[in-house]
A and B are shown apart, each in its own frame.
Chain A
Amino acid sequence: MRSVRSVRLGVLKPRGFRLAHACGLVTLLVGLISSCSREAATESASAQQDTLQPAEMTRLKAAHLMADVARTDRERDAAISALRAELPEVSPAAGVELVWLFQDLSSRISSLELLQGRPDEALRVAEAGLSVSKTASVPLSNLYIAKARVFERLAKKNEAAEAYYQALLVNEQLMRDALEDE
């Protein structure tokens, strides 16, 4: 049974009033749906953390080992190829683990490219690693250090100082977090 109030609303409210009410309700619904989908995206991003297969993990470790022991130019080139082969695909929704692996590999490749006398390529790889995420981590700081060393090699002192400063900021952030947890 319709109440007197509902009847009055239905009869007296102009069309614009009902339209505005409908828009308000639609906005609320859209907000609720988008917040739910955002939560779902976050869950999906965190669910993307286990993307490395055991074989991939083994190859990744081997590539890092090659980079650890590389002393000659040929060994370093082989290590660069092995590390590049393990660079994961990183989407905007990638989990923190994938980002960590990608940035760690990028910083190592950049350092090796610089050692091989290819600063432009070293800078490109470092920039690619930095473009993925700016969340404070050890690999992020390493990328800034690698970038700073490239600029030093290119005699760009101001750019090098800026990159070192960014690395220092990340290092400070991590140090603060570590001290807070102790």
Chain B
Amino acid sequence: MPDLDNEEFSPEELAEAAELARDLEGGSHVGEASPALEAAALLRVSQNPVLTEARFQELRAELPTRAVPEKSEPRRARSFWDLFFSGLGLRWTGFLVPTALLIFVVVRSVGVAPEPALSQRDVGLPKPSLALLKAQARALSGAEAPEYEAQMAAYRGQVLASLEGRRTRGGP
């Protein structure tokens, strides 16, 4: 192991030590960064690790503005419809409404004609008998159907009587 205390320094080593001493004392150095300069910088930082407020402000001024925001950014502006649906208390409406509309349109387009006879049933008109409907189906052949005419006249009589009865019960 070499004895460092008693070892003779070469002229290059002495020059390097002098340069290091200058750097440690804060001297300016123009030109390429020498290993001595880097070592001096490391030593300076290790001796004085505290970043002063003034240095912090200086460094921050050098950084791009976006990297160090002054304060937290304001919240992104919400769209009108976002606010509209949240006003209704329906946060998912933006998704649900188009879906419901799509389902509605599909169901409506698949629907069969004619409309069901529910309303006729609801208001209490007499329902046509199976015999009448069978006679009507036979009349669909195109031939004259006296039987159907008779059945239809009877059914018409029932409907008119029903309307008359309703008037008698609740009419003026």
The interface of chain A, by Cβ under 8 A from chain B, is 16-17, 19-25, 27-28, 46, 49-50, 52, 54, 57, 60-61, 64, 68, 95-97, 100, 104, 134-138, 140-142, 145, 148-149, 152, 164, 166-171, 173-175, 177-179, 181-182
Q: Are A96 and B125 in contact (CB under 8 A)?
A: yes
Q: Which of B83, B84, B86, B121 has the most CB of A within 10 A?
A: B83
Which residue of chain B has the shortest Cβ distance to A179 in the bound complex? B130
Instruction: Type the 1/0 row for B86-104, where 1 means its CB is closer than 8 Å to any CB of A.
Output: 1111000000000000000
Q: Are A174 and B133 in contact (CB under 8 A)?
A: yes
Which residue of chain A has the shortest Cβ distance to B80 in the bound complex? A20
The interface of chain B, by Cβ under 8 A from chain A, is 78, 80, 83-89, 113-117, 119-123, 125, 127-130, 132-133, 136-137, 139-140, 142, 149, 152-153, 155-156, 159-160, 163-164, 166-167, 170-171
Contact flag A97-B129 (CB < 8 Å), given A24-B85, A137-B120 = no
Q: Are A68 and B153 in contact (CB under 8 A)?
A: yes
Which residues on A sit within 8 Å (CB–CB) of B171? 50
Which residues on B sit within 8 Å (CB–CB) of A182? 130
Q: How far is the CA of A49 from the CA of B123 in the complex (A)?
A: 9
Contact flag A23-B114 (CB < 8 Å), given A145-B139, A171-B137 = no
Identify which of A49, A169, A175 contacts B133 (C-beta below 8 A). A175
Q: Are A134 and B140 in contact (CB under 8 A)?
A: no
Which residues on B sit within 8 Å (CB–CB) of A24? 84-89
Which residues on B sit within 8 Å (CB–CB) of A95? 123
